[in-house]
Structure 1
Amino acid sequence: MPDLAVLLAALAVLLAMARCFGWLFTRAGQPAVLGEITCGLVVGLALQTGPGLPGRVDTTLDALAQLGLILFLFGVGARLAPSMTAARITAAFVPALGATVVPVVLGTVLALWLATRHAPAGVTPFVLFAAAAMAVTAFPVLARILSERRMLDDDRGRCALTAAALTDATAWAALAVVASIHSGTRDWTLVLAVPFLLGLFVLARPWFGRTLDRLSGPTAVVTMVALACAGAATTDAIGLHAAIGAFLAGVAAGRPASRHDPAALITPAASLLVPLYFVLIGRKVDLGGLDTALMTETLAIIVVAVVAKGGGAYLGARLAGQPPRPAAVFATLMNTRGVTELVFLGIGLSLGVIDSAFYTAMVAMALVTTAMTGPLLNHLERDKVTRDA
C-alpha cells in the first residue's frame, strides 16, 4: 500500500480514536486529555504486537503532532497574556510564590535521589528539569474547569489563573535554561535571541491589535499560524526547543486588545492536531519497564507532587489572607497538571534530559493529579453547602 494511503488511514484512525476516548472520559467527568493519553497507550501496545507503521509514515505523523503542539502552545501563551497585568500579579504574587517555591524545593530534593537512575544527560539538567516540572500547573485545563464551574469572573478564579500564569512562566523559563545547557548552545548563537525578543516586544505593541482588527477572519487565522511557526522556527534554530518560541509568540500576540482573539483563532487548528500529539505521548509510555523500584519511585513522585503543590499553594493563599476553604480550593486548582505537564515532559524526553522510565512515572503523576481535581472540588463544594445549611 502506498505510504500516502497508509498515512491518511492512520490519521483517520488515530484522530477518530482520540476523539472517542476523549468523549468517554469527558462523560465520566474527567478531562478529554486523559482519554487521549489512554488512547495512546492502547495504540502503542497494538503497534508493539503488530507490524507497526512504515518509517516515513511514523515521521510524518510525528511532524503533524509537533505542529499541533506548536499551535497549542501559541494558544496557551495567548491565553496567559491577559492574566499578566500588574494588578493581578500583585494580588496573586504570594499565593503563586507558595505554589512555585515549595514544589521546586521538594522537587529538587526528590530529583537528587532519582538522578542516579534517570539522568541520561547529567545530574544538573535533570534536577533543573524535574524541579521545574513539579511546579507546573495546567493553565488550559484550569481555565476550562473554571469556565465550567462559572468561576472565571470571581476573585478565586482570577487569582488561580494569574498564579498559574506566573508559575508556568517560571517553569518555561527554567526549561529554556535546561534546553540551553543540554544543547551546548554557544554564546554567539544566544545573541540571536535578542532580535527575536525585540520582535516580540514590537508585536506586543497596541498598533498590532489595531492592525489585526483590519484583517478578515481567515487572514487573521493564517497570520496567527504564521507567527506560531515563525516563533517556533526561531528558537529551534537558536538551539532551544521550538515549543518555547511558539509559547513566547503567543504571549506577545495575546497582549494587544483586538476584536480578534488570537487564542480563539488558533484553537480550531490546534484542536484538530493536538490530540495526535497526546496519542503519541501515550505511545512513549513504557509500561514494560515497570518494576518494583519504578513503582516505588512513581508513588514517591505522586506523593511529593501533591504535597508540594497543594501544600505550597495552600500556604501561599493563607499567607495572602485567604480563609481556609478558599485556600483549599486554590490549592486544588493549582495541583492540576494536565496537558501542560504532559507537553513539558514530552519536551524533556525529546531533549534527552530524562529517560523513558522517569517520563512514565511523571506521566502517571500528571494523570493522577489531573483526575483528582474534579472530585476534590466537588467535595469542597458539598462541604460548603453542608456548612451553610
Structure 2
Amino acid sequence: MSVTTLLLQLVVILTTARVCGWLLRYLGQPSVVGEMAAGLMLGPAVMGALFPLLHAQLFAKELLQGLSSLSTVGLVLFMFVVGLELRSSQNMRAQLKAAGAVGVLSVVVPLALGLAISPTLYPALAPAGVAFWPFALFMAAALSITAFPVMARILKDRGMTRTPFGQLSLSAAAVVDVFAWILLAFVVAMVGAGEGYTGLIKITVGVVVMLAFLFFGLKPAFAWLLRVKAPDGEPSTTVMASLMIGLLVTSLLTEWLHLHAVFGAFLFGACLPRDDRLLRSLSERIEPISIVVLMPLFFALAGLGTTASAFNGASLGAMLLIIGVATFGKIAGGAAGARMAGYSWRDSMATGSLMNARGLMELIVIKIGFDVGLIGPELFTMLLVMALATTAMTGPLMTLCIGRKTKPVAADVAALVDAEAHAKP
C-alpha cells in the first residue's frame, strides 16, 4: 500500500469521525457515539451502498493492513489508560462489599440472558467450526460489559463521585468489568488453545506466570522508578520510554499466549502504583494521539467488518432481541442490586441506567470476538448497533430517573459519556 493511499484513508476516516461526532453532540449525544456511528457510515451498509466503486478502491481488504496496525497501537494505549483509571478509583476496597449486590446482579442477569438466547442465535449466526459453549460464553460476556470510564465521568460531572450513590456505582462497574474481562479472556483462550484442554492449561499457566511477573516484578520496579525519577507525578523522557516498553512487552506476552494485546495493556496499567498525578500526566500525553487520531481508525475498521444483511428480515428480529435483552438485563440487574443495598427506587433505576452504558468498551469486546473468529460479520453488526443504542439511551434514562438537577442532563451526559474516549481526568 502506498503512503498516498494510507494518508487518504486517514483523511476520510478522521473527517467522517469528526463530522459525525459534532453532529451527535449537537443532538445531545456524546461525540464518541457519533464516532462509533462513523464506522457504520464508512462500512458496506452506507458508503459501500452509496459509493461502491470508491469504497472498493479506498478500503480494499489488501489496503487495510496499515490501518489495522495503527488502530491496534491506539487500542493498546487506550486500554493502558483504562487500567490506570481502574486502579485510581478512590475507596474501591471500602465500597466492594456494599457494591457486591449491584456488581453481581449486573453480571449474573445479563449473563444468564445471554446464555438463554444463545441457542436461538447459534444455528444461524455462529461461524462454522465454532462450538456452542465458546459462542454462548462470548455472548454472555458481551452482554455483561459496562463502560467504567463512562460512568466515572458522568458522576464526576454531576459532583456525585464521592457520594455513597456514586461510590456504589463506580465500585459496581469496576467489579462488573473485571469479571467480564476475565470471562472474555477465558473464552478467547478456549479458542486460541489449538491443543484442546492441554492448550488451555498451558495458556492458563502462562497467564498466572505473567501476572506474578507483573505484580511481583514489574510493579515494585516501576514503583521505585517513579518514586525516584518522577516524585511529582511528571514522568521524564526516560520514564515514559520505560513505561512504553513495559506496555508493549506485556501486550506482546498476551499475544504470544494467544490472547489479545489489549489484555496485556489493561493489566500493565492496573499493576502500576496508584497515583492521580501520574494518571493525569500520562493521560495528557497519551490521550490526544490515541483518542483523537488512532481510535477513529479502530471505529472505521469495525465498521468495515459489518454487513447490511443484519438489517433484513429475521436478522433484524435477532438484532432487536439482542438490544432488548442487553438493556433489560443491565437495568434490571443494576436496579435490583441497588435496592438490595438499601437505595431508593429512583437511585436504583439510575444505577441500572448507568450500568447499561457500554460505549467503546463493548466495541473492543466484540472486535476481539470478531478477530478470533467467535462471531461473524452479521452478529458483529448486531452487537455494534447494540453498543450504540445502549450508550445513546444513557442520557434520556438518567433524565427520566433523577431529573434535571443541576443543568441539562442531555448536555451533561453527552459531555461525559464522550469522555470515555475524549475527556481527561
TM-score above 0.5, yes or no:
yes
Give, in angstroms, the shift of residue 210 of structure 1. 4.6
Equivalent-residue separation in structure 1 for 2:310 and 2:350 (angstroms): 36
User: SS of the counterpart of 1:192?
Assistant: helix
Equivalent-residue separation in structure 2 for 1:162 and 1:264 (angstroms): 25
Give, in angstroms, the shift of residue 264 of structure 1. 4.8
Name the structure 2 match of 1:211: 225
Give, in angstroms, the shift of residue 318 of structure 1. 0.5
Say if 2:278 is the partner of 1:260.
yes
Give, in angstroms, the shift of residue 258 of structure 1. 6.5
Say if 2:99 is the partner of 1:92.
yes
Say if 2:158 is the partner of 1:159.
no
Say if 2:236 is the partner of 1:222.
no
| Larger displacement relative to structure 2 (14-23 or 346-355) | 14-23
Residue identity (%): 36
Say if 2:189 is the partner of 1:180.
yes
Equivalent-residue separation in structure 2 for 1:243 and 1:189 (angstroms): 16
Report the number of matched residues.
383
Name the structure 1 match of 2:305: 284
Match of 2:113 among 86, 106, 115: 106
- The TM-score with structure 2 as length reference comes to 0.84
Equivalent-residue separation in structure 2 for 1:315 and 1:13 (angstroms): 45
Equivalent-residue separation in structure 1 for 2:27 and 2:239 (angstroms): 36
| Larger displacement relative to structure 2 (65-74 or 195-204) | 195-204
Match of 2:72 among 47, 50, 66: 66
Say if 2:82 is the partner of 1:76.
yes
User: SS of the counterpart of 2:29?
Assistant: coil
Name the structure 1 match of 2:402: 381
Q: 1:207 to 1:63 in 2, by over 3 A?
A: closer
Can you list the C-alpha shifts for 1:73-119, whole angstroms capped at 9, x where unaligned? 11111111233832121221111111111111111101122111122
Equivalent-residue separation in structure 1 for 2:360 and 2:349 (angstroms): 22
Give, in angstroms, the shift of residue 247 of structure 1. 1.3
Match of 1:137 among 143, 146, 157: 146
Equivalent-residue separation in structure 2 for 1:36 and 1:94 (angstroms): 34
Name the structure 2 match of 1:37: 36
Equivalent-residue separation in structure 1 for 2:33 and 2:190 (angstroms): 32
Equivalent-residue separation in structure 2 for 1:239 and 1:382 (angstroms): 46
Structure 2: runs of 5+ lacking an equivalent: 407-425
Can you list the C-alpha shifts for 1:191-245, whole angstroms capped at 9, x where unaligned? 3333311121136746633522414344444333333322211010011111111
Equivalent-residue separation in structure 2 for 1:33 and 1:89 (angstroms): 29
Name the structure 2 match of 1:232: 251
Q: What value does the CA root-mean-square deviation take over the aligned residues?
A: 2.2
- The TM-score with structure 1 as length reference comes to 0.91
Give, in angstroms, the shift of residue 56 of structure 1. 5.3
**One-letter amino acid of the counterpart of residue 225, structure 2:** T
**One-letter amino acid of the counterpart of residue 123, structure 2:** T
Q: Note if contact 2:76-2:262 (Cα within 8 Å) is conserved in structure 1.
A: yes
**What is the correspondence of 1:264-343 to structure 2 with a 5 Å cutoff?**
264-271=284-291, 272-343=293-364
Q: Note if contact 1:205-1:256 (Cα within 8 Å) is conserved in structure 2.
A: no
Q: Note if contact 1:235-1:244 (Cα within 8 Å) is conserved in structure 2.
A: yes
Q: Note if contact 1:310-1:331 (Cα within 8 Å) is conserved in structure 2.
A: yes
Q: 1:172 to 1:209 in 2, by over 3 A?
A: same
Give, in angstroms, the shift of residue 55 of structure 1. 5.2
**One-letter amino acid of the counterpart of residue 346, structure 1:** K
Q: 1:290 to 1:17 in 2, by over 3 A?
A: closer
Q: Note if contact 2:24-2:34 (Cα within 8 Å) is conserved in structure 1.
A: yes
Name the structure 1 match of 2:368: 347
Give, in angstroms, the shift of residue 368 of structure 1. 1.0
**One-letter amino acid of the counterpart of residue 177, structure 1:** F
**One-letter amino acid of the counterpart of residue 98, structure 2:** A
Name the structure 2 match of 1:194: 208
**One-letter amino acid of the counterpart of residue 117, structure 1:** A
| Larger displacement relative to structure 2 (109-118 or 147-156) | 147-156
Name the structure 2 match of 1:52: 57
